[in-house]
Amino acid sequence: MRTALKLWFALLVLTLSAVTVAAEDDDLLPPEQAFQLKVTALDAATVRAEWNIAPGYYLYKERFSFSTKTDGINLGAPVFPAGKVKQDEFFGQVEIFHGRITVDIPVIRGAAAPASFDLTVGSQGCAEIGVCYPPQRTTIQISLPTRAAAVPAAAPAKSLAQLQQPQGGAFQDDEVLDPDVAFRFDADVAQDAVTLRWQIAPHHYLYRDKFSFQLKDGSAVTLGAYTVPAGEEKNDEFFGRIFVFHDGMEVRIPLQRSGSGPATLLVSYQGCAELTGICYPPIRKEISLVPGAAAVSAATAPAAAATSTPAPQSEQDSLAAALAGDNRLVTVLTFFGLGLLLAFTPCVFPMIPILSSIIVGQGAGLTTRKAFVMSLVYVLAMALTYAIAGMLAGLFGANLQAAFQNVWVLGSFSVVFVLLALSMFGFYELQLPSALQTKLSEISNKQQGGSLIGVAIMGLLSALIVGPCVAPPLMGAIIYIGQTGDAVLGFVALFALSLGMGAPLLLIGTSAGKLLPRAGGWMNAIKAVFGVMLLAVALWMLERILPAFVTMLAWALLVIISAIYMGALEPLKEGSSGWRKLWKGLGLALLIHGALLLIGAGAGGNDPLQPLRGVGFGGGIGAAQAARLEFRKIKTVADMEREVAAAAAQGKPVMLDFYADWCVSCKEFDKYTFSDPGVIQALSGAILLKADVTANDDADQAMLRHFKLIGPPSLLFFGADGKERPSFRIVGFTGPEEFRAHVERALR
């Protein structure tokens, strides 16, 4: 509960308004005085933003943003000074600025660019006493000096050291670097891999799609799967939306040697200078793949660079990149379709009896229109909650759903379900006191306001408590929000995803108004069925916090008592209808399954659907469980780094599994995927680590923040060199066949 309260406090402080504290609040400076901003144009291609920060205040580096909507004007990557690392109570380790900060923003002008443009500057900061301001956004009109004349071809090239020397706070337009100085390249060749590195001079960049890595004919090696980093998005005057690299870039390419013969790697790349607009011809290097060797020859080729092999991307990274695409409508529709697919996962199934029970509980007065309205309110509340929770996770790195997965919240919500179920069985009627009913009767007759508010609250709680799953589409949208700060598009994508998840619920809930009987014995029987389903949801939630024996015993009691109510032990009367026989047959089947659950509970079983799975009877049942994956438990980032380093020393790859007891998909992994013999064989040569984040405490949150994850299930893969392979990350459940193929690619 302490973590949940901290999270709520952080959200209120940082997204709603500046908090009200004690009487000292009167001494707090307005944001425009605490963080005084001045923006000037240094030259035709550079704008400088300066903040004078009052004593006792600071600004977050990651909360700065610079944008413009002026046609013909694009902004390059801003150049920041080094900040101070701070351990923030809510955000973890962050970089901040005190005193005075100067940020230079390159301005890329098209041929028809105007002499002035509107620059929108965003920032956010706090006072040291613990009060944080809302994000600040200011739009300023900037007049640019006249563009300098084109640089003559014979302009002298300068070294990187000369370029990095301060020259009046900005670089001059006539600075033309030699390509090997602008893009300093080196290679580190090992027996199993070659690592290529580029040091990129300030105000220069390399194109992501111009990289090419090919083997020279006759080379005695094969290139393995490699990943080119995502890069930064840039709107190029000639090429449109592209991805580029500033400052530096590194690529590691695995090598599979087939002999001791010679091997040469051909590397090609191309880049530009931002301030002058000069683009260099493609640059080609030849690398001897003998361990310890470097480039053996270099050339700047006039021809176009060869097309590079597309780097593999994880599913969530691909979806994050799709959000940044130009066709936003198609992207949002895609997320809606992905939500429809997620609607058929175990994380959404428990919402069906919840909504259906609400609808059925309306009794004889239920109409199709009323059922539709109540279902729509439930789905919209659920979708809005998912969207807001995901947006906040992207902005602040905090998983709101995980904060609700504790014994008190789950226990309280389960008690609510039990009380609702007992009312379905007719033990009592849930209603307001008569005095309140009288006062609200007139409002209730005009509109179902009270009931709709209750439905909305149930939808909100269902999203936070019942279905805390992380899937690739959700993670993709969160990654996009975290990288770009574009909370609006991220919110829309998450809302569309959630509506897709809720569409079947809307259909099921609306149909209840047409298909369910209005009154009589049938209605009582149906209410009893949904009462049992509500009890099943309560048990399903309690599985996250109760011992396996207790939950198995509870499932057994629920199934056996339900079977008895269905008449499993009562003789059929002469002339009984076919429906009565079917009802009794189903009751007998449930009774037998309940007996198996009791046996399984007594013998140590833990799967209500397969109660005898893993239970040994003289070496018979459960023999298949002899082979199983053995995970090493870790808790902190230090634990992880120690284990990965030890594995690298042994030349072994590593798989890290983020797990939680309240994560439904994590249970699916253990039950279906990690028990598969093919998966066990594929992982036989790897070190397996498990980070159990059930408690969601500070150490767990630090682990998730370290890898920029929101929650489980998430699986990470590290090569034998100890470095993670981010393109092979898995978020969400993956079946055994697909997972086995993925592991073989990730660990080869």
Per-residue pLDDT, averaged over 449-453, amounts to: 63
Mean pLDDT of the chain: 74
651 and 536 housed in the same domain: no
* Residue closest to 362 by CA, chosen among 206, 245, 518: 518
Domain boundary among 84, 119, 143: 143
pLDDT over 90 percentage in the chain: 7
611 and 682 housed in the same domain: no
Q: How many domains does the chain have?
A: 5
653-671 pLDDT, tens per residue? 999 999 987 777 788 888 8
Domain boundary among 543, 568, 592: 543
Instruction: State the CATH number of the domain containing residue 273.
Output: 2.60.40.1250
- Distance between CA 661 and CA 671 in Å, rounded? 13
- Distance between CA 384 and CA 501 in Å, rounded? 12
For residue 484 the two structure tokens come to 């770009």
* Residue closest to 386 by CA, chosen among 269, 470, 288: 470
- Distance between CA 247 and CA 253 in Å, rounded? 21
Which residue has 């269902």 as its token pair?
Answer: 462
590 and 679 housed in the same domain: no
User: What pLDDT score was predicted for residue 716?
Assistant: 93
- Tell me whether residue 137 is in a domain: yes
Q: How many CA atoms lie within 13 A of 410 on its CB side?
A: 23
268 and 187 housed in the same domain: yes
Per-residue pLDDT, averaged over 622-633, amounts to: 67
3-class secondary-structure state, position 365: helix
Strands 295-300 and 283-288 turn out to be: antiparallel
Per-residue pLDDT, averaged over 587-592, amounts to: 88
- Distance between CA 208 and CA 557 in Å, rounded? 61
Q: Which helix (H) or strand (E) holds 182?
A: helix 179-182
- Tell me whether residue 253 is in a domain: yes
- Distance between CA 671 and CA 677 in Å, rounded? 12
**Sheet architecture: strand order including 232-236:** 232-236, 240-245, 204-207, 271-273
Q: 590 and 598 in contact (C-beta within 8 Å)?
A: no
* Residue closest to 395 by CA, chosen among 495, 468, 478: 478
Neighbour tally for 223: CB within 10 Å: 18
- Distance between CA 602 and CA 596 in Å, rounded? 10
Q: 176 and 223 in contact (C-beta within 8 Å)?
A: no
User: What pLDDT score was predicted for residue 463?
Assistant: 72
Neighbour tally for 418: CB within 10 Å: 16
- Tell me the whole-structure pTM to 2 decimals: 0.44
Q: Which amino acid is at 473?
A: P
Q: 663 and 471 in contact (C-beta within 8 Å)?
A: no
**Sheet architecture: strand order including 295-300:** 212-215, 264-269, 283-288, 295-300
Q: 553 and 591 in contact (C-beta within 8 Å)?
A: no
> Is it the case that residue 673 has pLDDT exceeding 70?
yes
> Which range among 21-35, 95-109, 713-727 shows the weakest confidence by mean pLDDT?
21-35
Q: Which helix (H) or strand (E) holds 338?
A: helix 328-342
Q: 250 and 198 in contact (C-beta within 8 Å)?
A: yes
- Tell me whether residue 441 is in a domain: no
353-404 pLDDT, tens per residue? 777 777 766 665 667 788 888 888 888 888 888 778 767 766 655 555 555 5
- Tell me whether residue 344 is in a domain: yes
609 and 726 housed in the same domain: no
- Distance between CA 616 and CA 623 in Å, rounded? 7
Per the structure, the complete domain to which residue 171 belongs is given by 157-311
* Residue closest to 336 by CA, chosen among 359, 319, 311, 321: 319
DSSP class of residue 626 equals G
Instruction: State the CATH number of the domain containing residue 739.
Output: 3.40.30.10
Dihedral over alpha carbons 23, 27, 28, 30 (to 10 degrees): 130
User: What pLDDT score was predicted for residue 631?
Assistant: 93
Q: 303 and 309 in contact (C-beta within 8 Å)?
A: no
Q: 374 and 359 in contact (C-beta within 8 Å)?
A: yes
- Distance between CA 616 and CA 605 in Å, rounded? 10
- Distance between CA 247 and CA 593 in Å, rounded? 64
Dihedral over alpha carbons 441, 444, 450, 452 (to 10 degrees): 160
558-582 pLDDT, tens per residue? 888 888 888 878 888 887 888 788 8
426 and 565 housed in the same domain: no
> Is it the case that residue 630 has pLDDT exceeding 50?
yes
183 and 330 housed in the same domain: no
- Tell me whether residue 462 is in a domain: yes
> Which range among 31-40, 172-181, 242-251, 347-356 shows the weakest confidence by mean pLDDT?
172-181
Residue 514 CB contacts under 8 Å (≥ 6 apart), including other chains: 368, 371
- Tell me whether residue 16 is in a domain: yes
364 and 282 housed in the same domain: no
- Tell me whether residue 151 is in a domain: no
Which residue has 């290529």 as its token pair?
Answer: 196
211 and 115 housed in the same domain: no
- Distance between CA 80 and CA 31 in Å, rounded? 21
678 and 696 housed in the same domain: yes
For residue 524 the two structure tokens come to 């009582």
Residue 91 or 653, more confident: 653
- Distance between CA 6 and CA 384 in Å, rounded? 22
Provide the pLDDT confidence category of residue 6 given band limits of 50, 70 and 90: very low
| Bond into 81 cis (ω within 30) | no
For residue 701 the two structure tokens come to 């949150």
For residue 737 the two structure tokens come to 């066949």
112-168 pLDDT, tens per residue? 778 888 999 999 888 888 788 888 889 998 888 765 433 333 334 343 334 334 333
- Distance between CA 584 and CA 561 in Å, rounded? 13
> Is it the case that residue 237 has pLDDT exceeding 60?
no
C-alpha 471 chain-centroid distance: 7
Domain boundary among 311, 332, 364: 311
Per-residue pLDDT, averaged over 314-339, amounts to: 68
What percent of the chain is helix, strand and coil (3-state, nearest 5)? 45, 20, 35
What residue spans of 205-327 are helical by DSSP H?
315-323
Neighbour tally for 150: CB within 10 Å: 12
596 and 664 housed in the same domain: no
- Tell me whether residue 305 is in a domain: yes
> Which range among 172-176, 336-340, 365-369 shows the weakest confidence by mean pLDDT?
172-176
Per-residue pLDDT, averaged over 545-550, amounts to: 78
Which residue has 């499993």 as its token pair?
Answer: 568
Q: Tell me the β-bridge partners of 279.
A: 272
Q: What is the CA radius of gyration of the chain?
A: 31
395 and 526 housed in the same domain: yes
Distances (CA, A) of 66 to 57, 159, 263, 558: 21, 30, 46, 59
C-alpha 382 chain-centroid distance: 18
Distances (CA, A) of 643 to 325, 629, 657, 700: 39, 17, 13, 17
Q: 228 and 309 in contact (C-beta within 8 Å)?
A: no
> Which range among 261-270, 472-481, 678-687 shows the weakest confidence by mean pLDDT?
472-481
The helix/strand count (H/E) of the chain reads as 22, 30
> Is it the case that residue 293 has pLDDT exceeding 70?
no
